[in-house]
Amino acid sequence: MFEINPSRLDLAQEFKRKPFGRHSADLQRILNRMRSEPFEGHYVLLRDGRFGPWKLAQLGRRAQDPMTLTGHVFEDRTEAEWIVFKLRWQRLTGQELPLE
């Protein structure tokens, strides 16, 4: 399985600048790895309705298990995606992402 190099902060900065659309090959590998985590504890964003705020949740052990809301709520999807990226980075590298 692809391992994320925690020293590649340039790729995290690339994501922060442009979280949507096409990414460099190296960043895309990181995103594919982050998005292919096992169910248990996987971070996801939920939205109530078309214009509601984004809520951060974690998946249960199996697909049919309920999700657990973390209490984080975001009005801006870009901000929400950045937080999810940082949480997944920490989970997969064991290191906090030193970028705001």
Q: At 95, is the secondary structure helix, strand, or coil?
A: coil
Angle between helices 25-35 and 77-93 (to 10 degrees): 80
- What is the predicted pLDDT for the residue at 10? 96
- pLDDT tens digits, 29-74: 999 999 998 888 999 999 988 899 999 999 999 888 999 999 999 9
How high is the mean pLDDT of the chain? Answer: 93
Amino acid letter, 56: L
Q: How far apart are the first and last CA of the chain?
A: 28
Find all residues with CB under 8 Å of 78, minimum gap 6, and list them.
19, 20
